[in-house]
């Protein structure tokens, strides 16, 4: 009787272990598939067919979405995306430019900014993705040697005002840093003073308080509130 009971317990134990191993395998498989989907969404090139040429932002981008306000390109990086603007800053965190749910989200303009980029300071957000996708490419801008070789880009807008970008600073900042993440009233004097003290790279030649500034912000990790921000000036293109 005792031997029979031991065999039953042993059999039950083996089944429990087998079920546990199967569940663990399924969880790992789901995590791998989910990670692959996130990576594929972040590197989806189908949106590139909407990339406009200078002077044609409105017609190309409005075909994509009424929330598309610009197209951002940072030369010689993977940053080549439409810029969305939602009713608030949560809308495009997990939504792609086509309006579908996506953990990689979209590049988006702060909801407090004017969609025509007429503000003295415009702030863009994007997820920090692996292999330089979305705003993952900003990591390297903290190194001066890389920064010096990647200082240009373009911003094509739906308002008909297109810009060339000249990057002049990179900085790590807490998400609660008001100088970086609040909108200035009329000029960027306080921001430039902050960068003079805190920036990892600061090349302010030709930049002053009246310059029109564009900031690109991404999180450093999901575990902290530190942000990496790259700053550039906007100059009318053409």
Residue 27: its pLDDT value, please? 37
**Is 232 within a domain?**
yes
Residue 35: its pLDDT value, please? 37
Query: 110-163: per-residue pLDDT in tens?
Result: 999 999 999 999 999 999 998 889 999 999 999 999 999 999 999 999 999 999
**Is 86 within a domain?**
yes
Residue 33: its pLDDT value, please? 34
Structure tokens at 141: 């801008």
**Is 142 within a domain?**
yes
Show the domain range for 200: 46-236
**Is 106 within a domain?**
yes
Residue 5: its pLDDT value, please? 63
CATH number, domain at 105? Answer: 2.40.260.10
Q: How far is Cα 17 from Cα 133, in angstroms, rounded to an integer?
A: 40
DSSP code per residue over 56-118: -HHHHHHHH-TTEEEEEEETTSS-EEEEE--SSTTTTTSB-TTS-B-TT--EEE-TTS-TT--
Quick one: which of 66, 69, 29, 35 has its CA closest to 52? 69
Query: 171-217: per-residue pLDDT in tens?
Result: 999 999 999 999 998 899 999 999 999 999 999 999 999 999 999 99
Quick one: which of 182, 176, 179 has its CA closest to 227? 176
**Is 153 within a domain?**
yes
State the average pLDDT for the chain.
86
Residue 130: its pLDDT value, please? 82
- CB under 8 Å to 71, separation ≥6 — which residues? 50, 51, 52, 57, 60, 61, 81, 82, 83, 154, 155, 156
Q: How far is Cα 30 from Cα 2, in angstroms, rounded to an integer?
A: 42
**Is 18 within a domain?**
no
What does pTM read for this prediction?
Answer: 0.82
**Is 150 within a domain?**
yes
* pLDDT of 92 higher than 80: yes
**Is 170 within a domain?**
yes
- Total number of domains in the chain: 1
Residue 140: its pLDDT value, please? 95
Query: 25-42: per-residue pLDDT in tens?
Result: 443 333 333 333 444 444
């Amino acid at each position: 009787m005792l031997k029979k009971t031991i065999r039953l317990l042993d059999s039950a134990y083996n089944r429990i272990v087998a079920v546990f191993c199967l569940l663990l395998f399924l969880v790992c498989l789901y995590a791998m598939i989910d990670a692959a989907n996130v990576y594929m969404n972040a590197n989806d090139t189908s949106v590139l067919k909407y990339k406009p040429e200078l002077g044609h932002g409105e017609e190309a981008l409005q075909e994509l979405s009424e929330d598309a306000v610009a197209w951002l390109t940072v030369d010689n990086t993977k940053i080549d995306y439409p810029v969305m603007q939602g009713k608030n800053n949560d809308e495009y965190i997990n939504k792609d430019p086509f309006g579908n749910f996506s953990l990689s989200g979209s590049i988006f303009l702060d909801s407090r900014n004017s969609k025509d980029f007429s503000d003295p300071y415009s702030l863009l957000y994007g997820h920090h993705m692996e292999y330089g996708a979305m705003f993952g490419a900003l990591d390297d801008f903290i190194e001066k040697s890389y920064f010096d070789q990647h200082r240009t880009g373009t911003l094509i807008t739906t308002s008909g005002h297109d810009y060339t970008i000249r990057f002049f600073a990179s900085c790590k900042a807490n998400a609660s840093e008001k100088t970086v993440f609040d909108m200035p009233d009329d000029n960027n004097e306080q921001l430039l003073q902050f960068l003079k003290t805190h920036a990892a790279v600061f090349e302010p030649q030709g930049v002053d308080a009246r310059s029109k500034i564009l900031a690109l912000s991404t999180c450093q990790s999901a575990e902290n509130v530190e942000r990496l921000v790259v700053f550039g000036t906007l100059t009318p293109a053409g």
